[in-house]
A and B are shown apart, each in its own frame.
Chain A
Amino acid sequence: MSVRRKYSLPGCTLILEGVTTETGGRRPTISAVVNAECHLLGHSQILAGGQGFLQQLTETLSAYTQSLLSGIVPVIPEGHITIEPLPPLQHRLTITDPGLEAPVSLDLSTLQLFDLLESLDQMLADARTLPGWSLDLKPLTRHQARLDPPIAERATPAAIGLSSLAVAAVALFFLPIPEVRRPSEPIPVSAEEQAQTTTPDEAAGSAPPTDLAAETTNASKTGDRPDAKRDQASGQTVQADPKKPKVPQASSDKPKSSTETKAKSPTAETSSTTKPAIISDSDQLYALSLKLDQDLSANWNTDQAPTGDREYRVSVGQDGAIIGYIGRSEGAESYVDSTPLPDLLYVPTEAGSAKVEAQADFRVVFADSGTIEVSPWDGYAKTPSTPPSLTDAPTVTQSLDDLSTTLYDKFKDDPSFDRSLAYRLGVTAEGTLAQVEPLTADARSFYGETPLPDLYDPAAAIAVTDDRVTLMPLVEFRVVFQPNGVIEIAPWYGMQ
């Protein structure tokens, strides 16, 4: 006996025609669907097909919605139905079927998508319609999701991969004649060759993003491939209004638009167009390492830190923003949440538009002891020069005055230490204490007893001008706190 059943929502009506083995009863159970039709409000096309079509549509829409909710690229079941976002607030559903002259595509608003999915969900929840069929909702595993990580994370491995590639290329090229710089000609060539000859260590960082990008592009095209083994029933998808020429035309653009969307992803963009220069200037590396150290220290909460040291390779732009990181020691990846790295990662505001002009890689170790060690991944080419110092008499005098007032204001008359504590202090032209270096072991131990911790603001030593991290020039002093409450303050370089 044939039964007709309807699920209505404001934007979509699902009509099923099925067969039942039951006789009588007010609402017999549909055991098989012969024909399913989705009527969408505002669309003259009707989506129609057999049970296979219905199942594929449900699985595809469900997987897609799960990805909308999570931001993780979906693993769409292979078949003839694809759906992709059409920002803002729209979604393009495309049906490519060997039985159709041209692919059909429908642009759905979020509300329509919801109604369409909801009508299918209601059908699934209906115990009297296809009772043996239910949707297996479960999260994608890490492995599945890694095939195509979310846009924000996609930038990370690419930046890392690229940098290690470029570093290797530069390193190899410069090996024979280290002093000579011939930057432009050989790098692109050797970078390409390098992709095949990288050491396993390098390959771990560099190869996967490129391979996966290619793989996922292929995967996204599988929907267009005719599949002979397809369920016969689903071949009945019809285009109810074939005289509407706009749709086939729009849908014929689909493969193109799909590749366009892919091309916008940072992976593709970074790997194809931008080739960030590697910062090798020791002074700039030093400034960047200070900034990185401060940013990480200020945001690191050691409460949650697991035991053991964790080492990361961190890529930083010339403005000091963290543009990528990768765990280099065992367990570093899985414990990355206990470090401030994910929070500090710079995510481009518009996908793909971030231009990294130059970057530097650092080895960052979150040590068990609660300290953070930051050093350039490839070391310094030469010892960084000492930070600029302000030595002109008017500035030094003014700073001396200010520092003396501030220190005496904060210094208790009866200090708890019984020996002199000497420090080398650096003060910015504005009077902020930006650098503290204890000169003796006692000075280190009794640091907390001095007024210095309250005044010390390491961030002031660093300035970001024109998107470049630089060190602020400082006025330096030798300061000795005496147990009798006297503070000796003298300009480090004397009065000039």
Chain B
Amino acid sequence: MPPTPTAETSIASPLDRLPDFDLADRGCPRRTRTQIDLTLLAIEALNLKGTHDILSLTQQLDLTRIIPNRVVLWRVRNTNPLRRLNRRRAMTIDEAKALTIIACHIARRLNLVIRQLLAEAVKLRDRGKPYSDNPHLARYLERFRVHFRSRMNPRRAAIMLYETDDKLDDLAIDLLSKLLFCTGTSGLQRFWVSLFNGEIS
């Protein structure tokens, strides 16, 4: 049987598409960990099957070596220092890569939804109306608020900033814009690089 091109791609790990950074054994910086987790949180608010999709993508994208199951996923996400159940364990660069690839992959699938929601948000803002006037947007924002409040540690100063619904809605919209940029042709690389902006020596 002639060698198929897929054989070659399966040897090259998807992780190789992203550059490594020297983290000096300390794992990923806190902003990286927070940003990845919040991005996944926004995806879960957009997509009811979010967690399920994340796990099934680990298999599709050949990332089970890094994220073998739900428990590991949960542990890695809990390296976000703002979580209630924050694990003060390090997030390895491979774990960060895997989650970034998954997040961008799902974001790309959700591109249309993200565009529509952002367009609605701009329209409502321009007219001086609340986001809740659009049922789709309202549903996303509400789900995001619920996820955020149930998982983040309200005693952290960084979380206290989002005490009000309005502040949390602004965060959710901001994450939506970020997700949009993840969907682009160079979205994955740009998002990955941005996670380490100002963190490397």
- A residues engaging B (CB < 8 A)? 10, 62, 65-72, 88-89, 109-111, 114, 117-118, 121-122, 124-125, 135, 137-146, 149-150, 299, 301, 303-304, 321-322, 337, 342-347, 349
| 17 A-B residue pairs with CB within 8 Å | A10-B115, A68-B178, A69-B181, A69-B194, A70-B31, A72-B197, A72-B198, A109-B122, A111-B122, A111-B180, A114-B180, A118-B184, A139-B200, A142-B200, A145-B197, A146-B198, A343-B81
Residues of A within 8 A of B170 (CB): 88
- In the bound assembly, the distance between CA atoms of A321 and B184 in angstroms comes to 41
B74 within 8 A of A: no
Contact B186 A125 (CB under 8 A): yes
Within the complex, what minimum Cβ distance (angstroms) separates B75 from chain A?
Answer: 14
- In the bound assembly, the distance between CA atoms of A344 and B29 in angstroms comes to 17
Classify the interface of chain A: helix, strand, loop or mixed: helix
B157 within 8 A of A: yes
- B residues engaging A (CB < 8 A)? 19, 21, 26, 29-31, 35, 81-82, 88, 115, 118-119, 121-122, 125, 155-158, 161, 167, 170, 173, 177-178, 180-181, 184-186, 189-191, 193-201
Q: Please provide the 9 A-B residue pairs with the shortest distance between their CB atoms, ordered closest to farther.
A: A145-B198, A69-B194, A70-B197, A70-B194, A139-B196, A121-B185, A72-B197, A72-B198, A121-B186
Residues of A within 8 A of B177 (CB): 68, 89, 110
Contact B190 A65 (CB under 8 A): yes
- In the bound assembly, the distance between CA atoms of A332 and B77 in angstroms comes to 26
Between B21, B161, B177, the greatest number of chain A beta carbons within 10 A of the residue's beta carbon is seen for: B177
Within the complex, what minimum Cβ distance (angstroms) separates A249 from chain B?
Answer: 21
Known: A68-B177, A337-B30. A137 touches B200 (CB 8 A): no
Residues of A within 8 A of B31 (CB): 70-71
Contact B157 A344 (CB under 8 A): yes
Contact B197 A114 (CB under 8 A): no
Residues of A within 8 A of B199 (CB): 139, 142, 145
Chain B residue at minimal CB-CB distance from A335: B26
Contact A111 B125 (CB under 8 A): no
Residues of A within 8 A of B185 (CB): 118, 121-122, 124-125
Within the complex, what minimum Cβ distance (angstroms) separates A391 from chain B?
Answer: 34
Residues of B within 8 A of A321 (CB): 157
- Of A109, A121, A344, which is within 8 A of B184 by CB? A121
Chain B residue at minimal CB-CB distance from A135: B186
Residues of B within 8 A of A346 (CB): 157
Residues of B within 8 A of A140 (CB): 197-198
Chain A residue at minimal CB-CB distance from B81: A343
- In the bound assembly, the distance between CA atoms of A40 and B177 in angstroms comes to 19
Contact A66 B115 (CB under 8 A): no
Chain A residue at minimal CB-CB distance from B170: A88
- In the bound assembly, the distance between CA atoms of A109 and B115 in angstroms comes to 11
Apart from A122-B185, A139-B196, A146-B198: 10 A-B pairs, beta carbons within 8 A: A72-B197, A114-B181, A121-B185, A137-B190, A139-B193, A142-B200, A143-B201, A145-B198, A343-B156, A347-B157
